Amino acid sequence: MILLTEAGVGQPAKTIAIFGAGLIGEATARALGRHAALCRDIFPLDWSNAERQERQLAALESKLTEALVEAANASPCVDLLWSAGRAGFGAGLGETTHELASFQAVLALAVRLAANSPGARIIFHLISSAGGLFEGQRQVDCRAVAAPRRPYSLLKQRQEELLAAAPIASRVYRLSSVYGFVRPGQRIGLISILLLNGLRHRVTHINGRMSTLRDFVFAEDIADFLARAILVDIALAAHPVILAHGKPTSIWEIQRLIESVIGRRIYLSYSLMPENSEDSTFSPAVLPSGWRPSDLASNIRRIYHEALRSGAAFSQPQR
């Protein structure tokens, strides 16, 4: 996990703990660093060994408690961002059960911090899934009802329920289909897979249809919004909030955009019995104030040039 600390003179001392250094967590850490002077530490946290994780969380809790005591006269604040999780959209019950246990352990830590530091502000930020909770629904707005269909979606729903019931300040961000820069060891989404396979002259196997509509949202936009929410403590009119682009895009359109960037045809193979072929789209009316999604075509070009510059275009990505 990533631990960021701020100790500005004449302002509240802030500590930010980011659980999960993947696509969203790492991008958010970078965005926070652009907006504020923060010291960064990597704190070990084992997601596969429960006993080791318990010891590591105890050490983290001691460190956070110490920071709160030291900043007791400066209205201290601890923000905990849960962006962790190896379980993907197609994860089974075993994976999601294990992940839920880790989430509960971190949430319990946050609750204890709040109970033991009444003068501090403890806020828990949860990254959830709009695509999972509203799978198969079109033009989702404020009247839509979450209807999870798979273990991953049920995991996100349960995380939200546990957080809502906890005696702690919280924020929930439901994300649509996320895409972002290619980084070693990080899971990548459909857009990056199509781009990389196109560069490598490989076939991409699609578990959907050419006409399937998705709402693609850029990880850097999410990170910038989260950084502002954490540092400025902006008021959110709705709770939870949906972070989506608000514009549906078909897989066929994504294919054409990528082909125009790399200058050649890319090869796709569609399943005869796709399990993830239903549309999932979101109404612009459901998006929060201050949310500014950027242009999809421009971002694909940015990902392309960054992948070439970093060499990621020629290394094996993590799916």
The CATH number of residue 136's host domain is 3.40.50.720
Comparing CA positions, the residue from 101, 93, 103, 153 lying closest to residue 128 is 153
- Report residue 101 as tokens: 């246990």
Quick check: is 253 in a domain? Answer: no
Residue 234: pLDDT band by 50, 70, 90 thresholds?
low
- Who wins on pLDDT, 13 or 159? 159
| 318 beta partners | 187
Q: What is the pTM of this model?
A: 0.93
The mean per-residue pLDDT over the stretch 31-44 comes to 92
Quick check: is 171 in a domain? Answer: yes
Residue 67: pLDDT band by 50, 70, 90 thresholds?
confident
- Per the prediction, the chain carries an average pLDDT of 90
- Who wins on pLDDT, 196 or 7? 196
Total number of domains constituting the chain: 1
Residue 94: pLDDT band by 50, 70, 90 thresholds?
confident
Comparing CA positions, the residue from 95, 163, 151 lying closest to residue 127 is 163
The mean per-residue pLDDT over the stretch 288-299 comes to 94
Residue 159: pLDDT band by 50, 70, 90 thresholds?
very high
Quick check: is 311 in a domain? Answer: no
**pLDDT for position 70:** 80
**pLDDT for position 20:** 94
The domain of 11 spans 2-181+217-245+281-293
Quick check: is 65 in a domain? Answer: yes
Residue 297: pLDDT band by 50, 70, 90 thresholds?
very high
Asked if the model's pLDDT at residue 247 lies above 60, the reply is yes
Q: How far apart are the first and last CA of the chain?
A: 20
